[in-house]
Structure 1
Amino acid sequence: MALSRRTILLTGAALGAGAAAGLPAAAGAAAAGPLRRDPFTLGVASGDPDHEGFVLWTRLAPEPLAEDGLGGMPDRVVPVHWELAADENFRQVVRRGVELAHAGSAHSVHVELDGLLAAREYFYRFRAENWISPVGRTRTAPAPWAMPSALAMGFASCSQYEHGYFTAYRRLAETEPELILHLGDYQYEYAKDTYNVPGGNPRDHEGPETRTLANYRQRHAQYKTDADLQAAHAVAPWVVVFDDHEVENNWADEVPEAPDPDFPARRAAAFQAYYENMPLRRSSIPRGIDMQLYRRVRWGRLATFHMLDTRQYRDDQACGDGYRNCAAAYDPARSITGAEQEAWLIDGFRRSEARWDILGQQVFFAQRDRDAGPLTVTSMDAWDGYVASRDRITRGWVEAKVRNPVVLTGDVHAHWASDLKLDYADPTSRTVGSELVCSSITSTGDGADSASGSHPWLRINPHLRFQNNLRGYVRTTITPGQLAADFDVLPYVSRPDAPAYTRASFVISDGVPGLHQTYDRPPTG
């Protein structure tokens, strides 16, 4: 009996030797080969799809939590065979090949494929010696001139391993999206018992605070051993961008959170480990402290995803960071993207022929004033700390007559939805876009449900339309006529296997900026 798609993708089941007969056998290898333990403990992944291909990823690590960050692998090159098929049973193999896994890249493998058929589903797997990986599912984007009828896309952020179980990743995987965006804080840098939730952390980090390449490799490996995260990686291609915790809290370009003469080396190590552990194209290979991460992913004429990097080029946070009433936040010379990325983005608006232009980025975009009085008190770590930068980009899409601009955001550990304005001081000013903010996968622990509209900041900021403090993710269905967003939540993450349910739903209609709420589930319990 053939394994079902759900069994393969959502349990991470590895195929036996008979089912993997299409992969070449390891010549002269003993029963288990020189690798005496399964090296595929970190699962498989794919990413950065276009209409001709994508990246396939795995990393060999029979001892994933090894302190040296090398996963228990021998110091030698290991050939890794890969196979791509049109069916989950690999009866219709369309490509196969071999990549060499080197110790210098922590035995990670990136297979960058092109020349495939557009808008097609594919299945892939790897073999190292006599060990066979789990099977992953991926897909190519539609052809540039095609207008697909729909795209099921989910997005997530902020998965602090210690703060709970990654059940939300599994629940997202069970919806079988066609594309997943991860908007930052994929892993956290802290040592055990440093960043705690009330009642204590359900799980612990291995190793010290991440500072060296070995530290970051070990930490990424610990996260990748989680079966729920592996299920989400295996179900669909991912498009990833980092925020701060992939390096350290609240870093800004070459400025660390606290004075640290070793920060350039730390940043370079973090970038190297990030590339090794993500399904990124060769264009994102780090060069010291630099890494090309902003890029576009096009889904035919339906949607263009402009993936931003709001950490690597930003000016340092103003007024000592935190929530402030800060004149420097309005300095037109300050930027959260840097001039080059800003110009790239605005040029992309001008050239766009997409029905939906979607910004995948890290920190809150709309104004979020926490003071009910005359002062404007906002987060210096978000776009509120770079008001002129936000204004230039917003005006950029307005002047380019972008048909449907939508901003997707992570970072703040709660669901939010907002209308976007050119003038937040005037609640009656026209709406020029929409922002959808996903809650965390686990960060800050269980959270709490509340009645919609009860958060005090919604009254201070009438353009903010929704907030909820449970953990979860956002599912979207994008069609030519609308973008529908479901804010899914979990009642708890302090224990495994929580159910997920839709807390609220919104629709953005083609050509009509702003959010229309279509569903609101009252709090339970």
Structure 2
Amino acid sequence: MNQAARTHAPTPTHTHAPELRAAARRITEGWAERTASYLPRRRLVGGAAAALAFGIGLPGSAHAAEADAKRLAANPFTLGVASGDPKPDSVLLWTRLAPRPLEPGGGLPKGKITLQWEIAHDARFGRIVQRGKVIAHPEVHHSVHLEVKGLDNDRVYHYRFRTGDWISPAGRTRTAPARTARITEVKLAAVSCQAYHEGYFTAYRHLADEDLDLVVHLGDYLYEYGVNAAGGARKYTDRTLPAHFNRETRTLGEYRLRYGLYRSDPDLQAAHAAHPFVLTWDDHETENNYAAGRAEAEGVPPEEFLLRRAAAYRAYWENQPLRLPQRPKGPDMRLYRRLHFGRLAQFDVLDTRQYRSDQLYGDGWHPPGPELDDPARTMTGAAQERWLLDGWQDSGATWNLLAQQVTFARRRDVPGAGHRVDMDSWDGCPAARRRLLDGARTAGIGNLMILTGDVHAAYGFDLKADWDDPRSRTLGTEIATTSVSSGGNGSDRPGNHEDLTRANPHLRFFNGRRGYTTVTLSERRARADFRTVAAVTVPDAPITTAASFVTEAGDPGLTPV
């Protein structure tokens, strides 16, 4: 990283003050007592309470009694299986036992449960590569995070779990190529924003049938909002959801239940079983538009929000195929990380929520003011920013992909004077955006692609050296994927289509349907296919390709196919 970038990287101004963390720890014991139905019945004191309640020490149940898996009368694999964060010699395998996932506790006894696992070269499990045992601990809601090492690089594997008389669905995963390997192609899908109450996850059923190397999830895996008995826009007539879903999630028990609801969706399960996922979060996994050090909009005490955040972070880790370095420590969780696919692609996965400066002028669209230009404003925090820019200095990849949450390119709502920008996006921290673009240019990153979620629409942007001059140098591209279901059915041409396209000449594509985006990388070009479903308020809607674009290696900018 260049010295200039180090000089101007801001010092974090929104890290958790020690007194707030101490306050969160002080109320942990009382919180654990209030949620005793989800935690072991034992006396919790001080830091030990925080460790148990928030997963500081894992697994944390070395002395818990062993439950008899033979006595499980119902299928415990109702939430399916998943894999994630593929490396050249290893992959993370996940499952969570829950015979009744919509009930507190998941319908399991308090004890730990032993599972057998196996991973094979073939879907029939005739050529077993490895097998072993792993324990599902009650303190982590009987979730399993199994790192299988010693695998061949760049190879497809099949895996499954077994406990008692029950066998899980089989999953398919793959390892990454060796970092020095010359490979000809990587194909991924980008997804985000899956509000259960706003429609079916049909896009995932289609995604499961795609030929992909990995799926990149860019946040809003769940929503904290209540879901009524009919499943919201799903309008169930053959089932009724329990009343405890029809309120906002705040406690560990409520977040756990919400993941049980979302992960019980068969289309989401199919996608996880078909492909390894690389995940990052946005805001709704915790609370809408939150920022570092900021209490909820309702004005609750800051330490209470840290406690809520700790509960949300723990439930997130329990329910995702994330490796052990990502496990939370109280209200903190290091989610940013780096993966490689040979010499072709480097993936830098960002967290633009946990460390960001508070939004100015409120959370939404607002005319820009002078405070926006404060160089201390940050989306990533200083440590993560340095990590990213240093990683670019060391990158030898043809393509550098930045997987992150909110719109990066400048996005004005109307042309000319009187325009507004979104304070929750990178427009709220333009100096931080400029540091990243300058850092990429200094590092010689010629093929920068930013993957974005959040906006419930599909965008294709050129990233410009001067946003006010459409003829200025193009520094990279941004592919913003639409939502899986959030926002309802949407339309091909949203009402603000004309204003946005006129106000932002670097905007090359804009579509408001739901779906996902596939990106195919080769040594010469990258291709983005914006895939959209006809509707999400009815199941099994068909999917089409709304548009396709390419960007040439060494010549950034989106060109329609």
Identical-residue share of aligned pairs (%)? 49
Q: Which has the higher helix share?
A: 2
Asked if 1 retains the 8 angstrom alpha-carbon contact of 2:446 and 2:475, the reply is no
Counterpart selection for 1:339 from 358, 361, 382:
382
Give how far 1:452 is off.
Answer: 12
User: In the TM superposition, what is the alpha-carbon distance from 1:253 to its structure 2 partner?
Assistant: 1.4
Q: Which residue of 1 aligns with 2:62?
A: none
> What is the CA distance between 1:453 and its match in structure 2?
11
Q: Aligned equivalents of 1:342 and 1:454: distance in 2? A: 33
3-state SS in 1 of match to 2:70: coil
Instruction: State the alpha-carbon separation in 2 of the partners of residues 169 and 290 from structure 1.
Output: 30
Is 1:260 aligned with 2:303?
no
Residue 260 (structure 2) aligns with:
221
Letter in 2 for 1:301: R
**RMSD of Structure 2 on Structure 1 (CA):** 1.8
Corresponding residue for residue 344 of structure 2: 302
Please show how residues 20-419 of structure 1 align to structure 2 within 5 Å: 33-66=70-103, 68=104, 70-192=105-227, 202=235, 206-258=245-297, 259-261=299-301, 262-325=304-367, 326-419=369-462
What pairs up with 1:467-482 in 2 under 5 angstroms?
467-482=510-525
Equivalence for 1:507: 550
| 1-structure distance, mates of 2:355, 2:128 | 43
Report the CA distance between 1:201 and its aligned residue: 5.6
Write the deviation string for residues 193-219 of structure 1: whole angstroms up to 9, x where unpaired. 69x98xx56467825211000000000
SS of 2:225 mapped into structure 1: coil
2-side partners of 1:105 and 1:56: how far apart? 15
One-letter amino acid of the structure 2 residue matched with residue 266 of structure 1: R
Q: Shift of residue 412 of structure 1?
A: 0.2
Alpha-carbon offset, residue 454 of structure 1: 4.7
Preserved CA contact (<8 Å) 1:395 1:422 = no
SS in 2 for 1:359: strand
Q: Is the CA contact (8 Å cut-off) linking 1:176 and 1:235 kept in structure 2? A: no
Q: Measure how far apart 1:96 and its partner are.
A: 0.7
Query: Contact conserved, 2:494 with 2:512, CA < 8 A, in 1?
Result: no
Q: How many residues align?
A: 484
1:352 & 1:114 partners in 2: Cα distance? 25
Q: CA offset at residue 285 of structure 1?
A: 0.6
Alpha-carbon shift at residue 149 of structure 1 (Å): 1.1
CA distance in 1, matches of 2:494, 2:547: 11
Pairwise CA distance, 1:450: 2.6
Per-residue deviation, residues 472-517 of structure 1 (Å, max 9, x unmatched): 1001111111111100001101000011010000001111111111
The 3 A distance-change label for structure 1 pair 471 and 296 is same
Residues 53 and 112 of structure 1 are in contact (CA less than 8 Å); yes or no, is this contact kept in structure 2? yes
Structure 1: distance between partners of 2:430 and 2:336 = 21
Mapped contact 1:161–1:442 kept (Cα < 8 A) = yes
Residue 14 (structure 1) aligns with = none
* Aligned residues of 1:455 and 1:467 also touching (Cα < 8 A): no
Distance 2:94 2:150 in 1: 18
SS of 1:266 mapped into structure 2 = helix
Q: Deviations over 1:280-319 (max 9, x none)?
A: 0000010001101000110011100100000000010011
Q: Which amino acid is 1:260 matched to?
A: V
Corresponding residue number in structure 1 for 2:478: 435
Contact 2:414 2:502 in 1 (8 A): no
Cα separation, 1, equivalents of 2:333 and 2:535:
36
Contact 1:453 1:467 in 2 (8 A): no
User: Structure 1 residues 417 and 207 mapped into 2: Cα distance closer, same or farther (>3 Å)?
Assistant: same
Q: In 2, distance between residues paired with 1:53 and 1:248?
A: 33
Deviations 1:407-433, CA, capped at 9 Å, x for gaps:
000000000000001221222211101
> Per-residue displacement from partner, 1:160-211 (whole Å, max 9, x unpaired)?
00100000011111113110000000000011369x98xx564678252110
- Structure 1: where are the runs of 5+ without partners? 1-28, 519-525
1:62-90 residue CA offsets vs partner (Å, 9 max, x unmatched): 00011x2x211100010011100011111
Q: Residues 49-73 of structure 1: CA distance to partner in whole angstroms, max 9, x if unpaired?
A: 010111000000000011x2x2111
CA positional deviation for 1:257: 3.8
- Amino acid across the alignment from 1:62: P
- Residue identity in the other structure for 2:349: M
Query: Does the 8 Å CA contact 1:57/1:278 hold for their aligned counterparts?
Result: yes
Q: Which residue of 1 aligns with 2:500?
A: 457
Q: 1:392 to 1:227 in 2, by over 3 A?
A: same
Instruction: Give the deviation of 1:264 after TM superposition.
Output: 0.7
Structure 2 gap segments, 5+ residues each: 1-66
Q: Aligned partners of 2:499 and 2:511: how far apart in 1?
A: 12
SS of the aligned residue for 2:330 comes to coil
What one-letter code is carried by the residue in structure 2 that aligns with 1:373?
A: G
Instruction: Give the drift of 1:360.
Output: 0.3
SS in 1 for 2:135: strand
Distance across 2 between alignment mates of 1:109 and 1:207 = 28
Q: Work out which of the residue numbers 452, 463, 476 in structure 2 matches 1:420.
A: 463
Identify the residue that residue 522 of structure 1 maps to in structure 2. none
The answer on whether the counterparts of 1:164 and 1:202 sit within 8 Å (CA) in structure 2 is no
- 2:414–2:499 CA contact under 8 A, matched in 1: no
Q: Is the 8 A contact 1:162 1:202 kept in 2?
A: no
For the 8 Å contact 1:248–1:256, the answer to whether it is kept is no
Q: Is the 8 A contact 2:228 2:246 kept in 1?
A: no
